Structure 1
Amino acid sequence: MRITLKFQTNPFTTLFRHQDDQNMKPTGLTACLLPLAFLAACGEQTTAPGKDTGPVQVTAAMETPAVETGGDAADDMAIWVNPADPEQSRIIGTQKKSGLYVYDLKGEIVQFLPDGRMNNVDLRDGFDLAGRNVTVVASTNRTNNSISLYAINPDTTELYNVANGVQATGFEDPYGLCMYHSTRDGNFYVFANDKDFGDYKQWKLVATEDGKVGLETVRQFTVGDQTEGCVADDKTGELYIGEENTGIWKYNAEPQSDEHRQLVRLIDNKSLTADVEGLALYHTKADKGYLVASSQGSNTYALFDRDNGYDYVGSFEVVDDPETGIDGSQETDGLEALSTPLPGYPQGVFMAQDGFNTLPEENQNFKLVDWRKIAQALKLRP
């Protein structure tokens, strides 16, 4: 959630701290290493032509019920596609004051786990647990500063706890989280960070003989300032992290990697406005597709083309729909994008946390958008 009264980190401090990074070759950023007076010009150079007309508008097809507490409560979500019956796919949303919600594709609550102050959540299919391939769900739990671990029962579509005891993070306040399945070593990993210091850890998921899952620390590194949103690409081995007041970084997701990184996008108050929050990947047949980011300060969502050097494609906003009565979304924390077809959504979906949910006195919830609306509005390639 965006906090307006906070110190803003100078992005150039972070840039110069990592200016010796071998992989740091962002397009069009040479001019950006000038004094701050030239920042506006840098934004114009890095913004794609024809995208200065403002964000396009789309409406949501579904919204979930409001969470049970007020204030900054709902946060992040992950989508599980049921391979046996896609209509029984599930949406898992965090309630950072109480636990995890599980919704169906209509937005109805099918399960609630009151297991702690869950902040961010992610999942991966195909983990070998006691001879069975299961979907593992991981979430940062700020009640006991741990990583909560679940598996999905494919028959009941419900989550059940598989953590081998409390999986402590060693952080004072665990915050952002994402998962990664390496095609190099076949292992599954969890990334999470400490809220105030930008410190990251990477853990390997380790199955026990009795059907539980533990975590083994394999890597630690520091981003620099407050960060939350992250997403990893299993096919390319790329890890994207949003530094809230600086921009988006790309790291190597493999456990033996160091801190070398590439600046994908600097906050320029055009494509991105602080805070940079949730990140997601929308995959295309080219095995890359788009990086989607929550530009919280402008209440918009930015798309960057991974097939073309992270060119800025454009931005969209989710607005009120007078026909359905579903309101738009603002000040989004977590988001998700999925290109896998779902019933009623042949090109996949986009989901976002709604920080306002129509009126300030209404509790937060999650919105789902048919990706076809986004593709049509931004004239994306087929």
Structure 2
Amino acid sequence: MPSNTRTIRAALLAVAVLGALALLAYFLTRPPAPRSSVPAPSPTGSATDSAVATGSPTGSASPTGSAAPEITTEVPKVETSSFASSGDVADDAAIWVDTANPGNSVVIADNKASEDGGVGVFDMDGRLIQFRPDGKIGNVDLREGLRLSGASTVLVGGNNRDDNTLALWTLDPNTRTLTPVSARSIPTFAPNYGFCMYRSSASGKFYAFVTPNEEGPIQQFELVDAGAGRVDGMLVRTLPISSITESCVADDELGHLYVAQEDVGVWKYNAEPGAGEDRVSVDKAGAGRLVADVEGLGISYGGDGAGYLFVSSQGDSTIAIYSRSGDNPFIKKVKVGGNGDIDAVTGTDGLDVTTSNAGPPFEKGLLVVHDEENDGGRTSNLKFIPLDSVLK
């Protein structure tokens, strides 16, 4: 082979070797490729399962981590006289409207004092008409239409914390006074804590719900005519709940039962006795709109399923308002301020609401709210607020 050819081949081989070495050096010394910014896919259905498991409210975005809503301030027009006994002994309220003479409407309220407890009737000026020292009554509610001995009655009920029984009365529309009508001592879970009533639009039957002061059952009783103008209660369903629960309210038209679990939030059940234990969360304490304890509940009825669910947010002394329909989307939040000699509401507990004419200045409805610290905290009472100002 000619010498010049051998020289060219040697040069080409040297170039190839040097190129291979350079390529090897590049791969050995280059920085690692960055990790992908696309997250790994989450397990199928995990987001939905989490929302269901934690009871995230449906009907509006979950409030977890959201800013607290704006709070508007409304003023009361009337307050009741201070309740007997010092400290926070007032609690719940039940409004009865006299449709023939709205100015004669009354508010029935419990006194949960250990020594001087009972139930009272107040007129629309906040004056006490009657007080019955019938024990440490926790919550009160009423329904019209239960027939006793053939006559339609206004039935008032409550839970007696002294002896853990149902307490039942009828309200005389003429004298606006209460008469006990329990056929016997009707035992409940011990210790009981709260109470509400339900009249089924499906069956026409009347029911009472009693809530527990610890982990235990919510009890549902059917209320029946026992003869001689008396009422008996028969246990028809229990619903387990894991911690202290006081207020409840039933939507008679839509058949819902709302329950306030104080450190958790508001639950919605089917109110019919054969419906089982299924429930959904309306809203949760600490999620931006309710501040524990979650307390009083009330419903204002509108046409065609419209209306509102009122929830007492005791931790910040406000009332949260939700739609009554669908998945109960949040509407607004209000605080009850002072008005002249009437002080502002603090430590809200029980409440009740009606859209009916309750006489001036409540021709367009009435909201009644408990005030824990009336008169500088020495006593407690109830404030009356025109409903139209709250819902404007």
TM-score by length of 2: 0.82
Q: How does 1:1-382 map to 2 (within 5 A)?
A: 19=53, 26-27=58-59, 39-40=64-65, 43=66, 52=69, 54-97=70-113, 98-169=117-188, 171-307=189-325, 309-322=327-340, 325-344=341-360, 345-360=362-377, 362-376=378-392
Offset, 1:83: 3.0
Contact 1:281 1:292 in 2 (8 A): yes
Measured at CA, do residues 221 and 16 of structure 1 come closer, stay the same or move farther in structure 2, by a change above 3 Å? farther
Q: Distance in 2 between matches of 1:306 and 1:140?
A: 26
Q: Are 2:211 and 2:247, in contact at CA under 8 Å, matched by a contact in 1?
A: no
Cα contact 1:179–1:190 (8 A) shared by 2? yes
Q: 1:363 Cα shift?
A: 0.7
**Are the equivalent residues in 2 in contact too, given 1:328–1:358 (CA < 8 A)?**
no
Amino acid at match of 1:160: T
Deviation at 1:231, TM superposition (A): 0.4
Contact in 1 for aligned 2:98/2:358 (Cα 8 Å) = no
1:286 Cα offset (Å): 3.2
What is the TM-score of this pair, normalised by structure 1? 0.84
- Shift of the alpha carbon at 1:274? 0.9
| CA apart distance, 1:28 | 5.3
Q: Is the 8 A contact 2:77 2:339 kept in 1?
A: no
Structure with more helix by fraction: 2
Deviation at 1:71, TM superposition (A): 2.0
Between the two proteins, the alignment pairs up a number of residues equal to 340
Question: Following TM superposition, by how much is the alpha carbon of 1:68 offset from its aligned partner in structure 2, in angstroms?
Answer: 1.2
Q: CA deviation at 1:102?
A: 0.5
Deviation (angstroms), 1:306: 2.5
Equivalent residue for 1:36? none
- Per the alignment, do residues 300 and 25 of structure 1 end up closer, same or farther by CA in structure 2, a change over 3 Å counting? closer
Query: What displacement does 1:27 show?
Result: 3.6
CA displacement at 1:224 relative to structure 2: 2.0
Q: Letter of the aligned partner of 1:90 in structure 2?
A: V
Does the aligned pair in 2 maintain the 1:271–1:314 contact within 8 Å? Answer: no
Report SS of the residue matched to 1:286. Answer: helix
Structure 1 residue 313: Cα displacement: 1.2
Q: Aligned-pair distance for 1:167?
A: 1.4
Q: For residues 375 and 166 of structure 2, what CA distance do their matches in structure 1 show?
A: 32
Amino acid at match of 2:243: D
| Corresponding letter in the other structure for 2:300 | Y
Moved over 3 A (4+): 15-21
The one-letter code matched in structure 1 to 2:130 is: Q
- Structure 2 contact 222–235 (Cα < 8 Å) conserved: yes
Of all paired residues, the percent bearing the same amino acid is: 33
Q: Is the contact between residue 105 and residue 359 of structure 2 (CA under 8 Å) also seen in structure 1?
A: no
Structure 2, unmatched stretches of 5+, are 1-48
Instruction: Write the distance in 1 (CA, Å) between the matches of 2:244 and 2:105.
Output: 33
Between the aligned partners of 1:80 and 1:297, the Cα distance in structure 2 is 28
Give, in angstroms, the shift of residue 371 of structure 1. Answer: 1.0
| 2-structure distance, mates of 1:25, 1:334 | 23
- When residues 347 and 164 of structure 1 are mapped into structure 2, their CA distance, relative to the original with a 3 A threshold, is same
Q: Deviations over 1:1-48 (max 9, x none)?
A: xxxxxxxxxxxxxx9898499xx972457x78xxxxxx41xx35xx8x
Give the match's secondary structure for 2:299.
strand
Q: Work out which of the two has the higher radius of gyration on C-alpha atoms and give 1 or 2.
A: 2
Please report how far the alpha carbon of residue 155 of structure 1 lies from its aligned counterpart in structure 2 after TM superposition.
Answer: 2.3
